Chain A
Amino acid sequence: MPPGALTDERDVREAYSAHAPELYGFAVRSLGDSGLAEEAVQETFLRAWRAGERFDPQIGSLRTWLFAILRNVVIDLGRARAARPGVAEKGIEPSVEPFDEALLSWQIEEAMRRIGEQHRRVLVETYYRGRPYAEVAEELGVPEGTVKSRVYYGLRALRVVLEEMGYED
């Protein structure tokens, strides 16, 4: 059994407090239903615990491993629903493609939530809303150079957060 394996109930509790908010947030975002998301997160931690001896932190982070399990859970949920249209309340795509795309979106959005408000604000205004820097600067009551520098530090902060989250290009 590799050191750091998830064998104890305490290990699972720790893993839960560290990663459940993210897994749940993502599950809600991708499944579009909080009940289903709860089900998926519960199943993810149960499977993680059952397979806990196989988890090796040398190979990958706990977070990555949990997301990989969640991915299988979501696929199983989708299959089960596809097989039983009578029971399905809301359709989920059983395909994997949307999962990976949704995960990518969610990671960037989560990183955006974690950077400072000032940084997020200028990225939203200049990038997502495509507004001119001068206009944004006036609205914020700061020089245009400050908006530019916030854009720079905002992207840097985003990079750091994505790295912390174990994001791989």
Chain B
Amino acid sequence: MKTDECRHWKEELGAYALGHLSREDRTRVEAHLEGCAACRAEADSLIGVARQLPHADPAQFGPAPEPPPELGKRIAATIGSERRAQRRRRQWRFGLGFGGAAAAAAAAAVLAIFVLGGGEGGEPEQHVAFNTLPKGVKIGATLKPQAFGTEIHMYVKGIRSGTLCRVYMRGPDGRDVSAGTFRYRWGGDSDATLAAALDLSRAEALVVHAGRRTFVAPLDRGATTDRNSPQEEEST
């Protein structure tokens, strides 16, 4: 039977593809491949796989690290709050008839109301206004305690479009906990919803890196009003 014969040859093809056969065995396998299109196709395909093996490091074949369980929750929470903010924005736009060229102004106006208006369920939010900023630049934030840490609504205006903004919350030990990144888009919505895995009650400061500039707003722990005196840090 042809298939049984091929089965014997096929089992040689792994070692053949890896270049492990003796010269004699290789010659015999190649003689078979000459006359058997099916085995030839199989050999070519295995050689393709064998070529990829040098890219792997056998020290890495152990179990891969698992994402920490709170990561999924944090992402879901951030998306949930972003979605709520979106809905609110849509309602506002619809209600007030904003559109087209007024979109940027609309986002700014809505954000101002949103920031000043406080939270939904009366949880203590903290409003942070970065006061000491270059002319024409506005940065503000609302911080809301959540089970996963702190939800952060950022509002930025007046910086170069496309600027990458990275937001951190500074913990009691002086370490910065990342809250994520967003890009400032002129003409689009200039706010972003972020999340940090640090309790608001433990946060010392809100840090924003906008392009090459760094802005730090110390937080008044437990305060719910904007009594802060933010300042610009020298960045190198």
Contacts and interface: CB of A to CB of B under 8 A. Distances in A.
Interface in B59-110: 60-68, 71-72, 74-76, 78-80, 82-83
A96 B60 CA distance: 22
Given A109-B61, A149-B11, A152-B14, A83 B211 contact: yes
Contacts of A87: 176, 209, 214
B27 to A, nearest CB: 17
A116 interface: no
Contacts of A42: 71, 74-75, 78, 180, 195
B20 interface: yes
Contact of B45 (A38, A80, A159): A159
B181 A76 contact: yes
B159 interface: no
B166 interface: yes
Contact of A127 (B12, B18, B76): B18
Nearest to A146: B11
A39 interface: yes
Interface string B159-186: 0000010100000000010101100000
Classify the interface of chain A: helix, strand, loop or mixed.
Answer: helix
A21 to B, nearest CB: 6
Interface residues of A, number: 62
B36 interface: no
Contacts of B178: 35, 39
Contacts of A158: 49
Contacts of A63: none
B181 A25 contact: no
Nearest to A86: B236
B180 A128 contact: no
Indicate the member of A21, A83, A113, A151 with the most B CB atoms within 10 Å.
Answer: A151
Given A16-B75, A20-B71, A126-B18, A152 B11 contact: yes
B235 interface: yes
Given A152-B10, A154-B14, A84 B67 contact: no
Contact of B49 (A13, A21, A124, A162): A162
Contacts of A113: 61-64
Given A28-B65, A113-B64, A124-B61, A155 B50 contact: yes
A140 to B, nearest CB: 16
B57 A105 contact: yes
Given A80-B166, A108-B56, A46 B75 contact: yes
Interface of B: 10-15, 17-18, 20, 45-46, 48-50, 52-53, 55-58, 60-68, 71-72, 74-76, 78-80, 82-83, 164, 166, 176, 178, 180-181, 195, 209, 211-212, 214, 235-236
23 contacts: A12-B76, A13-B72, A16-B76, A29-B64, A41-B67, A41-B71, A46-B75, A46-B78, A76-B164, A108-B53, A109-B61, A113-B63, A126-B18, A127-B18, A127-B53, A151-B15, A151-B18, A151-B20, A152-B10, A152-B46, A154-B14, A155-B50, A156-B14
Given A28-B64, A83-B211, A155-B14, 10 more contacts: A21-B66, A34-B68, A84-B236, A105-B60, A123-B53, A124-B58, A124-B61, A148-B11, A149-B14, A152-B10
